Amino acid sequence: MFRFLEYLLIAGYIAVLLVISHWIGQLAYSWMPLQATAEAKKVDDLFSFLVSIGAFILLGLVGMMLYSVLFFRASKEDYSEGHPSRGDVRLEILWTATPTILVLWIAFQSFNIYQQLNILGLGQIVHLHLPLESQPANAAIASDVPKPASETIDVFAKQWEWSFHYPNNLTSHELHLKVNRSTRLNLHAQDVIHGFYVPEFRLKQDLIPKRDIEIVLTPTRTGKYKLKDSQFSGTYFALMEADVYVESVEAYNQWLTQTASEPTTVKNQAVAEHIQVAKTLFKSGWYTVAPDQPAVANKRKVSNDT
């Protein structure tokens, strides 16, 4: 009877832990920036699950330690050693199989999210370091299966600015995306490795020189966001920011047609930082790429045929 009550209490404690852990996992959604893409929701779901699992393990271990301290404390004068425990095969299997299954499930979910981003061009980078005779016959097309997208926008990163080339030959320093429409971004680095990072998109992708990398994302929330350079690409990498606008199809088309006829000068924070007089006593002597002067923010590229 006592053993039954003991099992019942353990089951009740585990049930309470599951409820509390699930609640903490739901709180984890508020720890992240707003979800602005369909892919962001999947990332947050996985993060919430990881927080729930972590909370369950933490609370379970803390509860077990507190229970041991309260009910199995040795008396003040007791210096004897406890009985050495022996391994239980069932317990060994349990705590080996459970983490293995969890890690495999998390890896599968992460790979599934990665596949939905449809990142193309990375397979070529991997195979680039292998001898030709050791590469599979389909190395160039191993994962390059394009995902349907409403349009393609070319993204260019250089020290120290972002620029975007749209299908109507408009080049801008602002990234505009249609809400609820899949858009393919073709990423280009013109000098060193940069990082395309928009926190609300839950997307961070390296741009590698001489390599075209494509990603597909589906914005779901209208608004203004910030694109940052997530890779240390030199002195002014922290100032490499660009405005990202997610808007309706009508607003997007209106911007395309109207903005090209209203070119403006874009403010480059790296220029303002570069021309300031250094306030340090000693100069590092490190080589620094001087930023370009403020360029035209919106201009239409004229083809050679016209």
Residue 26 and residue 232: Cα distance in Å, rounded? 33
Distances (CA, A) of 175 to 74, 102, 168, 224, 285: 66, 38, 14, 10, 35
Put residue 109 in one of left, alpha, beta given phi > 0 → left and psi -120 to 50 → alpha: alpha
Q: Where residue 89 falls among pLDDT bands split at 50, 70, 90?
A: confident
Identify whether the C-beta of residue 228 lies closer than 8 Å to the C-beta of residue 197: yes
Better pLDDT: 272 or 80: 80
pLDDT bracket for residue 234 (50, 70, 90) = confident
Rounded-to-integer distance, Cα 160 and Cα 241, Å? 9
Question: What pLDDT, in 10s, does the model give residues 155-202?
Answer: 999 988 899 999 888 889 899 999 999 999 999 999 899 999 999 998
Whether the pLDDT of residue 250 is over 50: the answer is yes
Give all domains of the chain, ordered by start, each with its CATH number. 1-66+106-117 (no CATH), 138-276+295-300 (2.60.40.420)
* DSSP letter assigned to residue 250: H
Picking from 56-70, 104-118, 178-192, which range would have the lowest pLDDT averaged per residue?
Answer: 104-118
Residue 117: which pLDDT band, with cuts at 50, 70 and 90?
low
Q: Tell me what the pLDDT averaged over the chain comes to.
A: 80
Amino acid 141: pLDDT: 38
pTM of the model: 0.73
With a pLDDT cut of 90, the percent of the chain lying above it is 36
Is the predicted pLDDT of residue 230 greater than 70, yes or no?
yes
